[in-house]
Chains A and B, each alone.
Chain A
Amino acid sequence: MSPSLILALYGLLFLIIFSLCLLGFIIIRRLVLTRREAFFSRLYRQIEKDILEAISRLDPDFSLKVAGRYRGYPQVLTQALLNFGDIIIGEGRDQLRIIFNHSVKERCLKHLTSRRTAKRLQSVRLVIIFFDPAESGFLFRLLDDKPIIKLAVINALSRLPSPETLGHIFTAFERDTGFTVQAYFNVMFSLGGRIELLVKESLKKTLPVDKLGLLVELIGAIPLRNLSEEVLALAEHPDKEIRIRVARALGRLLVPETAETLIRLASDEAWEVKAQAVKSLGKMKNLQALDLLTKSLFSPFWYVRHNAGYGLAEMGEAGLRRLKQVAGQEEDKYARDMSEMVLNDLIFPSEAA
């Protein structure tokens, strides 16, 4: 036999054996998983029943018994605690905490330093649910972990809005780089008015444009009306993105004194800023801006015309009269069409963005 023939033969044999092993692995894995899933669901139903009883009895001794009974099945118990912990609050949560403390807590704290992301993430979630302030040190250490863990920890800290934890969140925000910055918005948003002072302090620092923009957006989204002065101070910012966000935030804060700034922004050199300012003026229902919005309907920029049209529609009767006037004129067909569309859209309501 030639060497190439021998090579091909060995190659074929190897491939056949490998394929058969792979098929065997798929089948065995399936069988094992099916059996494990059946066992898991049977055990889960038992645990579920006992947990529900513990929650309704509110008897710490019974909860202790449940913890002891299932300590040997940490995976299933952890899953059950995660599922129930998310939806049960009050005294029921205290019973869950007893079960957690006397069964899987030690394992969970150990897993906070596991090399496997999934284990760390699962443990962070459990620690979030059954948080004990004495263990906050474990969480603070994880602020230097992978982005997903860090965000889970920040999420956990946001549920315990003490000055110390809020300080940690803002420090992490100021230090952080990369895509996770966006995620802070959601965490900070959930904290509401509590973060007013911290936002104010952060705005005094030199922050990159994306973070600054995020804070401005946050002020509008929560909304933090006491910080309108700080937002106004950014209306002349050289970066267009910041000016857009300022215009948007002012439209959400709805502080009448900020109308002048918005009117000024409606004449900005960038059409995106103009469009946003016009929209915000409409939301503010400031009748002083009626002429400006009507004029904006004749803008060469589609978005400016669009936002001016809907802005006028927001202003009520006076705005609608202006829209009808523009819809009736023939000189500017673009302004007319836009007005007609807005008037038509008041009959066919769209989903609000």
Chain B
Amino acid sequence: MTGDVLHYLLHAFNIVILTYFFLINSFYILFIILSLFGLFHHRELTRYVSFKEVFRLPLVKPISIIAPAHNEENTIVESVRALLSLEYPVFEVIVVNDGSSDRTLDRLVTSFELERSRWVFRKVVAHQPVKGIYKSRAYPKLVVVDKVNGKKADALNASLNISRYPLFCAVDSDSLLEKDALLKMVRPFLEDPEKTVAAGGIIRLANGCTVKGGQVVKVRLPRNMLARFQIIEYFRAFLGGRIGLGMLKSMLIVSGAFGLFRKDIALQCGGYRTGTIGEDMDLIVRMRRHLHNMKKPYEIRFIPDPICWTEAPETLKILSRQRNRWHRGLLDTLLYNKVMLFNPRYGVTGLFAMPFYFVFEMLGPFIELLGYVIFVFCIVLGLLNHWFAVLFFLVAVVLGTLLSLLSLLLGEYSTERYPRLKDVMILTLYSLFENILYRQWLTFVRVIAFLDFYKGKEDWGAMHKKGFAQAG
């Protein structure tokens, strides 16, 4: 009798796992197909557009670039120089030194000839006290804010209060924006200034690439295996995922490393939520919630060609910290906004985007891990045909590789592809091996994140980066 029940339960669970497997892969394939159409459409529309023309437009909106920095004395000066050299008609750069314990502020003061200023700002959203605001006669675009540590969201809130322009671009101070990234990113805000509330660009990994004067000058693959796996992941996430989700009006994340937002809407939502570590996703979800509540039509766009280069972790320890934090951020945002789940009042966000992220992104690692465990269990107990088990495993690996290959194909149609055919071959090989061990390890990391979240862990975890490879 017990054996029958166990057998029945295992059978039922196998059906759940197979359905989950079928659904998640179908969604990913759908997103990639949509992305392919989206990329073609975008290419067609921008092929004959000179982004420099934005300089001649009288109605172009000025942008405040806000970059929080915490203990970044090694990279901060170069990053700020790169931000100051961006091409855009009118912008300011607000760097927030968020209670660094190293020489971040000193380096900024010395390098940019900063002097303390009597800046008066409007405190619309709360944040930790500001110790001083610094300006420079030599770099009038630059404002440096020194404040008590309050984590990233708090630093972003301080910059929101201090910024003067109607659009703000949140960037990580250790990332590199392409010179014309703002010109490309602002396009939807020019086309439809009323409805467009946020836009995200693409994040690419600069590991292995050569950087000169704050710009990536040579695109190459890194030697590090982990970084190579992450390149495939980023391709899948940004080119395969976000373009497709954007076309379905279901994009819930605009990366914190590079996103452009309307300040008035962000302030109406209360700015960044300081209690969360996934502040980028949280802001977008709350913006959607707010605009739906207000019954205001809006657009959140993903633009596939403005590129922000960032450095990927190259050790398991740091990568696991990063993914743990991302997953805790996702959990926090989804649970904080759970009222939107399956709620028709929130349109496609409530009926598709939130459930998708809830089932496949949030619970996904659990279901996947449980699947592995039951799979092994069934084989050991002889409840599963060994040949079927091997075949199913192979199907999963090849399907995963196929999805990665499709993302590489999308990469071929995007800007700044890897120029050497050898690189494509290497990435193909890695997309095959990604499904063996690396994927399972990530699932495990995300399950641990789940447990950490319930234990109330809130720290970011130190992210040691080695810096970009400089051209001679």
Residues of chain A whose beta carbon lies under 8 Å from any beta carbon of chain B = 2, 4-5, 8-9, 11-12, 15-16, 18-19, 22-23, 25-27, 29-31, 82, 116-118, 121-122, 125, 148, 152, 179-180, 182-183, 185-186, 189-190, 210, 217, 221, 302-303, 306, 337-338, 340-341, 344-345, 347-353
Contacts and interface: CB of A to CB of B under 8 A. Distances in A.
Contacts of A27: 421, 424-425
A26 B141 contact: no
Interface stretch (B112-120, B146-154, B460-468): B112-120
A19 B398 contact: yes
21 contacts: A2-B385, A2-B388, A5-B387, A8-B391, A16-B398, A22-B405, A23-B428, A25-B409, A27-B421, A29-B412, A117-B45, A121-B45, A125-B48, A148-B45, A186-B56, A186-B58, A221-B58, A303-B122, A344-B118, A350-B92, A353-B62
6 A-B pairs closest in CB distance:
A179-B192, A8-B391, A302-B122, A341-B120, A118-B44, A348-B135
B59 A182 contact: yes
Interface in B102-146: 115, 117-120, 122, 135-137, 140-141
B190 interface: yes
Contact of B191 (A121, A183, A185): A183
> What is the interface of chain A mostly: helix, strand, loop, or mixed?
helix
A182 B44 contact: no
Interface string B357-395: 000000000000000000000000000010110011011
Given A27-B424, A340-B118, A351-B141, 10 more contacts: A4-B385, A8-B392, A9-B391, A19-B401, A22-B406, A121-B47, A122-B47, A179-B194, A337-B118, A351-B62
Given A148-B45, A348-B137, A351-B92, A185 B59 contact: yes
B237 interface: no
A9 B393 CA distance: 11
Contacts of B399: 15
Contacts of A190: 56
A270 to B, nearest CB: 15
B193 interface: yes
A16 B394 CA distance: 10
B170 interface: no
A351 B402 contact: no
Contact of A185 (B58, B115, B120, B406): B58
A12 B120 contact: no
B412 A30 contact: yes
B101 to A, nearest CB: 28
A353 B165 contact: yes
Contacts of B164: 350, 353
A279 to B, nearest CB: 13
Interface residues of B, number: 52
A22 B402 contact: yes
Contacts of A5: 385, 387-388, 391
Contacts of B185: none
A19 B402 contact: yes
Contacts of A23: 405, 428
Contact of B421 (A9, A31, A210, A217): A31
B191 A351 contact: no
A344 B193 contact: no
Interface in B400-444: 401-402, 405-406, 408-409, 412, 421, 424-425, 428
A26 B401 contact: no
Of A19, A117, A210, the most chain B CB neighbours within 10 A belong to: A19
B140 to A, nearest CB: 5
A344 B117 contact: yes
Contact of B395 (A8, A26, A180): A8
Nearest to B406: A22
A308 B392 CA distance: 71
A348 B117 contact: yes
Contacts of B391: 5, 8-9, 12
A351 B91 contact: yes
Interface string B164-186: 11000000000000000000000
A101 to B, nearest CB: 21
A121 B421 CA distance: 32
Contacts of A345: 117
A30 B92 contact: no
Contacts of A344: 117-119
Contacts of B135: 348, 350
A303 B52 CA distance: 32
A183 B193 CA distance: 10
Nearest to A190: B56
A11 B391 CA distance: 9
B88 to A, nearest CB: 11
B1 interface: no
B401 to A, nearest CB: 6
Contact of B398 (A12, A29, A82, A349): A12
B57 interface: yes
B90 A353 contact: yes
Contact of B118 (A118, A210, A302, A341): A341
Nearest to B299: A179
B115 A348 contact: yes
B412 A26 contact: yes
Contacts of B425: 27
B409 A182 contact: no
Nearest to A186: B57
B140 A348 contact: yes
Nearest to A217: B59
Contact of A117 (B44, B91, B118, B387): B44
A338 B120 contact: yes
A214 B283 CA distance: 31
